[in-house]
Structure 1
Amino acid sequence: MGCKQLLVLYTGGTIGMQMSTAGLAPASGFEARMRTQQALQDQPLPQWQFRELLPPIDSANMQQRNWLAMGAAIRAGVEQDGCDGVLLLHGTDTLAYSAAALSFLLLGLPVPVVLSGSMLPAGAEGSDAWGNLFGAMSALHDGIAPGVHLYFNGALLHGARVSKLRSDAFDAFHVLPRLRQSPRAEHIPASIDFRQPRQPVNLAVLPFYPGIQASHLRALLNSGVQGLVLECYGSGTGPADDAELLGELKAAHERGVVLAAISQCPHGHVEFGVYAAGSQMASAGLISAGGMTREAALGKLFALLGAGLSPTDVAHWFAIDLCGERAD
């Protein structure tokens, strides 16, 4: 069954930007522009109500507090206003990060949530804005399964598997391939579903690279980081002959820092046992993210740690496919 009453949640981004003396900048007043443009559409669309998260932002300024505000607004729209679908308008720079974070913040929400935006502002010549916006609304009207999705350039994409791969074309977003489907959790416990309050979390992402030093890692880990996404080589390898670096990882793991490993390869996945260097990473306390994207790994750590789970429980749920994010 399609969406009948839609919440349109506007956060800013290119789609609603207007020219300022410094260049394109976020702007309010998008609801009126939407309603004017809707009068020119001929496809069936759901009834909708509009809410704006103030101030509208360039998504390059996205923070965890914005994710929490989005989640709260979506829950209010569903639970208090009776909306059976949500369209969230968002800038493209961090759109994939927000789609991933919301995928985990809204686990179990019984309605579809679709994120969209545009590469060019609405009103610009040749813009993709109205096509993306009304395309998403039309898809919601026709019916979309519950969960978080991204609609862009005519395609409906998995919210926890999508990445922005281009900055110069309308087909900027793609779902990275999965080697195989992971077993899905049979149920989502209340401790991590959409009703669970969350708090901000001190998280970091760090790639391995030739020349990385234990002192670099130590400085990051000593900054109070609660969770670290390590971008490993290939199938989950790293500088396994650096005893000092491995010692920093082990010490961090022992004091409760969650260390999650993803592959630097866009089509890669972590499988520690393939190489001895990967086994060393696992022995240092890293947990495999399988084929998760950087966006998904970061968003999942945020949702789990932000729910107040212990490091042991975070590691348990991180290793389980919760919404189709993993590829093991």
Structure 2
Amino acid sequence: MRAVKNLLVLYTGGTIGMLETPEGLAPSGGFESRMRDHFAVMADAPEVTWTLQELDPLLDSANMQQHNWLAMRDAIVDAVRVRDHDAVLVLHGTDTLAYSAAALSFLLLGLPVPILLTGSMLPAGAPGSDAWDNLCGALRQFDHPLEAGVQLYFAGKLLHGCRASKLRSEAFDAFAALPRHRQSEHVAPLPAHLGYQQPRQRVNLAVVPVFPGLQAGHLDALLGSGVQGLLLECYGSGTGPSDDQALLDTLRAARERGVMLVAISQCPEGDVVFDTYAAGSRLRAAGLVSGGGMTREAALGKMFALLGAGLDVDEAEQWFALDLCGER
């Protein structure tokens, strides 16, 4: 850990830099000059040296997709390896902020610099906005040594990149880090094919909550679209309709043809332990692997990073069961 001397601010869009248009708020360029103008009149402006790069295109984060994660990853790696930046602050919209923090946690494994993400619930310049507080608070984090890896800063809190979720749609303290119920074996040292230098490609992933009335036909239709990985949000400790043989057969057939099947809990503080109930054991027997206490964002980002690296489903499952950066 060391003090930051050459920070990159990567502006991806989001509410923090939005301006009013005839259709409503939309991402706008020129945020660097707005930042510098604001800091010029502040008595206690952050002192860290920074430069700003705008991602093209700028996004409302509701439009965030896997290729945008890869573009962010490429921009961050280039900034560190080619332009000698020793830290990166990502400005991002809040709708998918936790998803991007989790995805980048796995896409940047082994990158030896701190990566921090922040955003705001109201645009900079709007009356009563939280934008400048979050931005200045995030910049001040770099006044002190930070550990390498991805973290999220919001409403005065520094959160683990793979444990954060957006819990509130309007409050300024929209994000919280969910507790870990148990820890898995940690991977050290990290193999090269899981690190930040490993090329990634897009992966066809799907998320489905278990609910009373879920049918095999629902999953058949979804899996028939070429899904490579399915994240099933189960009840409680990892249970589901285990007396529905057709549904179990659908899951088993998908796993046999190479689809990765992962189970997490629908409960915000849930943890999948298949052996607690017979209903969970039958899901495991159908081919599901446990996501432990991982959040939806972390589980999805981890599946993307593993399958996107070209791992087959057996190898992806082996690495999924291990702790790569504190996600489990």
Which amino acid in the other structure matches residue 87 of structure 1?
Answer: L
- Offset of residue 178 of structure 1: 1.5
| TM-score, length-scaled by structure 1 | 0.98
Write the mapping of 1:243-262 to structure 2, written as runs, cut at 5 A. Answer: 243-262=245-264
Identity %: 65
How far is the alpha carbon of 1:41 from its aligned partner?
4.7
Partner deviation per Cα, 1:194-244 (whole Å, 9 max, x = no partner): 000000000000011000110000001111000010000110001100001
Q: How does 1:51-130 map to 2 (within 5 A)?
A: 51-130=53-132
Residue of structure 2 equivalent to 1:26: 27
Q: How many residues align?
A: 326
Which residue pairs with 1:295 in the alignment? 297
1:1-328 superposed matches below 5 A: 1-39=2-40, 40-326=42-328
Aligned equivalents of 2:168 and 2:295: distance in 1? Answer: 16
1:185 aligns to what SS in structure 2?
coil
Q: Is the 8 A contact 2:239 2:280 kept in 1?
A: yes
> Gaps (5+ residues) in structure 2?
none
Secondary structure of the corresponding residue to residue 304 of structure 1? helix
Moved over 4 A (4+): none
**SS of the counterpart of 1:142?**
coil
Change (3 A) 1:41 1:8: farther
The Cα shift of 1:44 comes to 4.5
Q: Are the aligned partners of 1:17 and 1:25 in contact in 2 as well (CA < 8 Å)? A: yes
Report SS of the residue matched to 1:301. Answer: helix
Paired residue secondary structure (1:292): coil
Distance 1:41 1:173 in 2: 29
Q: Is the 8 A contact 2:182 2:293 kept in 1?
A: no
Tell me if the contact between 2:184 and 2:321 (Cα under 8 Å) persists in the aligned partners: no
Deviations 1:42-76 (A, max 9, x none): 15422111110112110000000000000000000
1:2 shift after superposition: 1.5
Task: Tell me the amino acid that sits aligned with residue 248 of structure 1.
Answer: T
Taking a change above 3 Å as real, the CA distance of residues 13 and 247 of structure 1, as seen in their structure-2 partners, is: same
Measure, in 2, the Cα distance between the counterparts of 1:41 and 1:320: 47
Secondary structure in structure 2 of the residue aligned to 1:241: coil
The residue matched to 1:76 in structure 2 has which SS? helix
RMSD: 0.8
Distance in 1 (CA, whole Å) between partners of 2:251 and 2:214 is 13
- Cα distance in structure 2, aligned partners of 1:188 and 1:220: 34
AA in 2 matched with 1:102? L
1:141 Cα deviation after fit: 2.3
Secondary structure of the 2:143 match is helix
CA distance in 2, matches of 1:163, 1:26: 23
- Determine helix, strand or coil for the equivalent of 1:141: coil
Q: State how far apart, in whole Å, the 1-side matches of 2:133 and 2:291 are.
A: 35
Distance 1:43 1:25, change over 3 A: closer
What 5-or-longer segments of structure 1 have no aligned partner? none
Provide TM-score, normalisation by structure 2: 0.98
User: Match for 1:8: what amino acid?
Assistant: V
CA contact (8 A) 1:4 1:141 kept: no
